[in-house]
Amino acid sequence: MSAALPHVPLSVLSPSPAPVALRLDGVTKRHGAGGDAVVALDTMSFAVKKGEFVCVVGASGCGKSTMLNLVAGLDTPSAGEVVVAGGRPALMFQESALFPWLSVEENVAFPLQMQGLSRKARAARVSELLQLVHLEKFARRRPHELSGGMKQRVALARALAQQAELLLMDEPFAALDAMMRDHLHSELEALWQKTGLTVVFVTHNVREAVRLGDRVLLLSSRPGRLVAEYQVDLDRPRRIESPEVARLARTITDRLLEAARAAA
Amino acid sequence: MPQRELAGEAPPARPHLHALPGGEDGGRDDKSREGHVLVDMPERTDPEDPLRAGLRAAVGDPTRADRQPGGGKPGRGRALWAAAWPKLAALALALTVWELVVLSGWRPEYVLPGPGAVLARLWTDLLAGDIGVAAAITMKRALLGYAIALVAGVGLGLMLARVKVLRTAAGSLLTGLQTMPSVAWFPLAILLFQLSEAAILAVVVLGAAPSIAIGLLTSTDQVPPLLVRAGKVMGARGLSLYRHIIIPAALPGFVAGLKQGWAFAWRSLMAGELLVIIGHAPSIGVRLQFSRELSDAEGLLAWMLVVMLLGVLVDGLVFGALERKIREGRGLTAEHA
């Protein structure tokens, strides 16, 4: 499915030919034109293996959202190439972006409807997905009747409904309280292990990145550049409070601050 | 305020305490058992996440506790009364002021009759069938004109929303049309169509269509970009993006435009019926005009009341109900009301 790889990208640590779900090759994105152009992403290259959970961290202005837009196909790079295996990726936002005029089940059914599934097939798949996020009892509710955490779970079910091989998450839990976030980390981790999805998870919370990721990519700000990457070799399930997570998070945060100082 | 909750003496917070050990539905069951059911909005017996319910129980949440009026099960009658009495009171006040002005002797009663005489006249005209006949003629024109305006307005609005050049070219023209008092169209309409139904219809359409088009245009402008992005990511493009995302998202604003369009249509129609007298069709406007010519002040006021009542009825029963339904479905009911 994926295009042939002309060379093994630098960022793939193991040289084994694991199938690649996403590859960025020298991707640059400029906003605006001429002298006023702002470079949001600067020759960024990395690859994500199929089934991998990769977290992307960086200070604000590091082009995280720009990168997701490029990968999601909502925008095109100024230079370089984005290769996504397995069709259009699913994308989850910081806000649930649920459609307020549709019920929970209709929201989850939406991508299926866009794919042209029959009503019957949709219904079966939707109830399966709602069970997966433990919200089957709320199928007929409207989004405004749900709490923030529940909304994000519906958004997750809706993203999973797309049956994409790649799930992009743009600070999906940033607006939630710590306890709810913890809870959703576990749910997301369990879902990821169950489905074998590839996840690219953008966050500004370094601990969250270490809690969830197989690998953490660190971006610098203005322009967004890949400055470091960390393999997280900790057993799952992890706890965000654990000393191991804290230790690695501290290393990454130090590096992040260093990059910020270098940029200033 | 949280201290009050922590002190433990706040009964409305109890359902959340019960929800702590229960499953997903624990919170709801407990609420209905204790009678904490909001009668006028049964959909909003807020479902609770078990985790969040536990959190609330531990911390106490005054905002939620205060939202639930404790105890009692007011029936439908009581809800109706609660909605009706302010309106009735306002009506009574208006009638009183009217009566007082008449009693003050500012104008003789044959010029300005009191509410008693006018309401009695309204009743006899209603029984005689005059009002029914006139209202039927007028409403038929209103509906026909509005239907044409709806099609024209939606078509125009969609076209301008889709094609940027058209919008730049015609956008301000449309605003000009909307702000132009529709009465000003009548001389031209009469020249073009003589004193005919067509003249009235043309002005009704010209009055209503720009509002509908502008309503559509501004409401599509205000669709949250995030929803459009979400739709695109899930594969909605081009026409299906309009059908599934932009139009439903724009619906509340669009209905506001429809409502305004109706108000303009109704005003244009009344102006039209006063200016374009078609003798064999005794419409409301014709009856108004005849009452004036016969110096029949009672009749004149009675027919004015008919105009007002019809306007209020359509506004409330059609557009009000539509707006309410849309707003409630999306949780847009005003918290400050």
Alpha carbon distance B211, B193 (integer Å): 24
> Which of A95, A101, A183 has its CB closest to that of B251?
A101
Q: pTM value?
A: 0.71
State yes or no: pLDDT of B7 exceeds 80: no
Residue of B250, B274, B94 whose CA lies nearest to B186: B274
Alpha carbon distance B223, A250 (integer Å): 41
ipTM of the complex in this document:
0.82
Instruction: Quote the Cα angle for B222-B223-B225, to 5°.
Output: 110
Beta pairing, strands A38-49 & A20-31: antiparallel
What pLDDT, on the 0 to 100 scale, is given for residue B135? 93
B24 interface with A at CB cutoff 8 Å? yes
Q: B240 vs A114: CB contact, 8 Å cut-off?
A: yes
Whether the CB-CB separation of A91 and A168 falls below 8 Å is answered with yes
> Which of A137, A143, A180 has its CB closest to that of B24?
A137
State yes or no: pLDDT of B65 exceeds 50: no
Q: A74 vs B229: CB contact, 8 Å cut-off?
A: yes
Distances (CA, A) of A132 to A115, A154, A194: 21, 10, 10
Q: A74 vs B235: CB contact, 8 Å cut-off?
A: no
B222 interface with A at CB cutoff 8 Å? no
Q: A179 vs B25: CB contact, 8 Å cut-off?
A: no
- The number of C-beta contacts closer than 8 angstroms across A and B is 89
CB atoms within 10 A of CB A235: 7
Enter the CATH code of domain A20-89+165-263: 3.40.50.300
State yes or no: pLDDT of B269 exceeds 90: yes
What is the pLDDT confidence band of residue B265, given thresholds at 50, 70 and 90?
Answer: very high
Whether the CB-CB separation of B261 and B230 falls below 8 Å is answered with no
pLDDT tens-digit series, residues A26-37: 888 888 777 777
Contacts 24+ apart (CB under 8 A), B220-226: B220/B157, B220/B161, B220/B246, B220/B247, B220/B250, B221/B161, B222/B250, B222/B253, B223/B249, B223/B250, B224/B249, B226/A93, B226/A95, B226/A97
Q: Element (H or E) spanning B63, and its range?
A: helix B62-67
Query: Among B234, B243, B335, which would you mutate to test the A interface (most chain A Cβ atoms within 10 Å of its Cβ)?
Result: B234
Q: How far is A122 from chain B (nearest CA, A)?
A: 15
Domains of chain B: which residue ranges?
2-67, 75-106, 115-329
Domains of chain A: which residue ranges?
20-89+165-263, 97-163
B334 interface with A at CB cutoff 8 Å? no
CB atoms within 10 A of CB A166: 23
Residue of A89, A111, A223, A228 whose CA lies nearest to A168: A89
Query: Among A146, A158, A167, which would you mutate to test the B interface (most chain B Cβ atoms within 10 Å of its Cβ)?
Result: A146
DSSP 3-state of A56: strand
Query: Among A103, A144, A177, A180, which would you mutate to test the B interface (most chain B Cβ atoms within 10 Å of its Cβ)?
Result: A144
The strand pairing partners of B110, in sequence order, are: none
pLDDT tens-digit series, residues A137-186: 998 899 999 988 899 889 999 998 988 889 999 999 988 888 888 888 99
Correct CATH for B115-329 of 1.10.3720.10, 3.30.870.10, 3.40.50.2300, 1.25.40.10: 1.10.3720.10
Alpha carbon distance B29, B12 (integer Å): 15
State yes or no: pLDDT of A89 exceeds 80: yes
